[in-house]
Amino acid sequence: MRRLLGAAALAAMLTGGAFAPSRAQGAGAEAIALDVDASDAVQGIVRVHERLPVSAGPLTLVYPKWIPGEHAPNGPIANLAGLHVRAGRTVLPWRRDPVDLFAFHLDVPSGAGALDVDFEYLGAQQGLNSTARFSTPNLFTLTWNKVVLTPAGRDDAAVVLAPSLRLPSPAWRYATALETASANGATLRFRPVSLETLVDSPLDAGINERVFDLGAWDGAPVTLAAFADTPEQLAAGDATVEKLRALVTQMHALYRHRHWNHYTFLLTVSDVMPGQGVEHHQSSDNGTQGKYLTDDDAFAAGADLLAHEFNHSWDGKYRRPFDLATPNLQAPMIDDLLWVYEGMTQFYGDLQAERAGMRTQQQWLDGLALSDASYVTQHGRGWRSLEDTATSSSFLYGARGPWASERRSVDYYGEGELLWLDADVTIRRLTHGARSLDDVARAFFGGAANGTPSVLTYRRADVIAALNDVAPYDWGAFFAQRVDAVAPQPPDPFTPGGYRLVFTEAPSAFETIANERRKQVDLRYSLGLAVGTDGTIADVLPDSVAFRAGVGPGEKIVAMNDRSFGDRKTCDAALRAARDGTPLRLLLTAGNVYRTVALAYRGGPRYPHFERIPGTEDVLGAIAKPLQTTGGP
């Protein structure tokens, strides 16, 4: 909401579980003037000028390192270039710290009351998370951590900046949670805010914009500001908009209370701009494929994106693990509770999308079947715990891909979802259907009243206590078994929920659209291969047919049974033909080297599904029911 209320500063560093009101925006501090010139953003560069109030003596400037919501020290320092520091007309030499490469040391001369700092940010459509998102001919995204240097050693809530931005042209529109102080042509000036709030308030801009009114939550407006490569990509139908409004309604029914003054879904729909989803208190920074708003299948396949990031306003931003509530972005974040922060959000991201009608119940079940099958066959479960995937998140984000089954990946998302579904089924069993995980989420993340952006921290013991308040049980042992232990099998909420995993010869409709979105052919449950639609092998499951034949990730399938590699139907035909005992032949290439391997496989195509267990209660069906709404948006 670009012209509504100003964003509030976040809460102070807290002791575990204690509440603190929002901190003052650096009361009495002189603001740093931050001027960002994005005139040439389409070319891939922005220019930054800062004027910093200083005192004489040694000074260290730091570039944000640990980026909130990205769970890693991946501030894009490599893209900072052209750094010059001046005190009046005097150019000051600087020296990068040889250990902390995000820090720059210099000496402020006597009599200097301010420094002028100039540098460039070199945009690139590569890297991780927000680093990869920058600009296209019609779009520009700005996360402020990319374009700011501040004095070291300070609490980010006490560092005040007066930001301004020059867009590529006056024709470009924009949206952000910041409050606009003035707009003159392409130049925007925003109200001064803390560094904490600035980094929490990304901005999207572009030539093609459409704003959707999604209702009001106890007087606080909720909107979706979408930007696209072309105007046609913004032509969402009424049914799609109603589903988005229903998402807000279902979130209100779940949490009852908000912790924001206004909320904006920032969304880029583009086949050029890379996608992502990152949470913020009063907005979320989302990107997905160009047909997302105009194609029913694309909308269903990516329905969890907006629901997931919206849920983070409660789980992750308002309630936050103690060791993630750091005083500044240079302090290391400890990620061991991401199975709550991301895992429960993955659960509610998918579930609330289904409850809002963005996915059908069958699509929700099919998505769970895909996840469960992936973990059932995951070889790395034999050596690495779920907790370790969370603790290791800062490097696992960049290690996804080849040998994922052996390495494990950011499984605190998908397996975390199964964990919390297991908790929900357990609560419903213990209380004979009278209580559910919704009651825990409402009390723990919803709070007692509406409020402005603030932080309330927690530790594992607080989560266990919240569960016991709803359904007394040995939740400590529950988590020890599912989170801490090395467990060959994932949580099984499905059997007690009335379902079992089976494999059939045809994929579900949801798997078909999901694989089309990911541009992959999933042969993991037959040959043990995850393959891109171009034939490139993304992963090989250890102990699978392909693994035993010596096939490795990174090779490319040129032909299958002497036919050029094609789509899933072509692969399925080859798998069926192998049932007579004839080995299935793969022609592989790696660079300019070719080889042929034979796979002894007679099982035919195999794709995961759930089927109902006769005579059992449909607990998953009860979980999937939309929440009753009384009032709200």
| 141-177 pLDDT, tens digit each | 999 999 999 999 999 999 999 999 999 999 999 999 9
Domains contained in the chain, number = 1
Q: What is the 3-state secondary structure (H, E, C) of 212-257?
A: EEEEEECCEEEEEEEEECCHHHHCCCHHHHHHHHHHHHHHHHHHCC
For the record, the structure tokens of 89 come out as 């007309």
| Mean pLDDT score, 96-119 | 97
Q: Quick check: 349 and 396 in contact, CB under 8 A?
A: no
Sequence-ordered list of residues with C-beta below 8 angstroms from that of 36, at least 6 positions apart, any chain: 46, 47, 48, 142, 147, 163, 164, 165, 166
In-domain check, residue 1 = no
pLDDT in tens, 358-414: 999 999 999 999 999 999 999 999 999 999 999 999 999 888 789 999 999 999 999
**Residue ranges making up the domain that contains 573:** 504-608
CA distance 57 to 484: 49
Q: How confident is the model at residue 130 (pLDDT cuts 50, 70, 90)?
A: confident
Length of the chain: 633
In-domain check, residue 573 = yes
CA distance 493 to 475: 15
Please tell me the least confidently modeled range out of 105-109, 233-237, 533-537, 627-631. Answer: 627-631
Q: How confident is the model at residue 125 (pLDDT cuts 50, 70, 90)?
A: low
Q: Residue 11 pLDDT > 50, yes or no?
A: no
| Mean pLDDT score, 518-535 | 95
pLDDT at 566: 86
In-domain check, residue 216 = no
For the record, the structure tokens of 440 come out as 């825990």
Q: What is the DSSP letter of 397?
A: G
Parallel, antiparallel, or unpaired: how do β-strands 456-458 and 319-321 relate? parallel
In-domain check, residue 544 = yes
Instruction: Name the percent of the chain lying above pLDDT 70.
Output: 94
Predicted TM-score (pTM) of the model is 0.93
Q: Is 253 exposed, middle or buried (0-12, 13-18, 19+ CB in 10 A)?
A: buried
C-alpha distances out from residue 270 to 202, 228, 284, 600, Å: 18, 6, 17, 43
pLDDT at 400: 79
Q: How confident is the model at residue 631 (pLDDT cuts 50, 70, 90)?
A: low
Q: What is the CATH number of the domain that holds 589?
A: 2.30.42.10
Render 104-172 in DSSP notation, one character per residue: EEEEEPTT--EEEEEEEEE--S-SSGGGG--B-SSEEEE-GGGG--EETT--GGG-EEEEEEE-S-TT-
Q: How confident is the model at residue 129 (pLDDT cuts 50, 70, 90)?
A: confident
At 562 the three-state DSSP class reads: coil
In-domain check, residue 371 = no
In-domain check, residue 434 = no
In-domain check, residue 384 = no
Closest CA to 552 of 560, 565, 542: 542
pLDDT in tens, 565-593: 988 999 999 999 999 999 999 999 998 89
Taking the CA of residue 241 as centre, how many other CA atoms within 13 Å lie in the half-sphere pointing to its CB? 16
Q: How confident is the model at residue 3 (pLDDT cuts 50, 70, 90)?
A: very low
In-domain check, residue 117 = no
Q: Residue 29 pLDDT > 80, yes or no?
A: no
Q: Is 23 exposed, middle or buried (0-12, 13-18, 19+ CB in 10 A)?
A: buried
In the chain, the largest separation of any two C-alpha atoms, in whole Å, equals 88
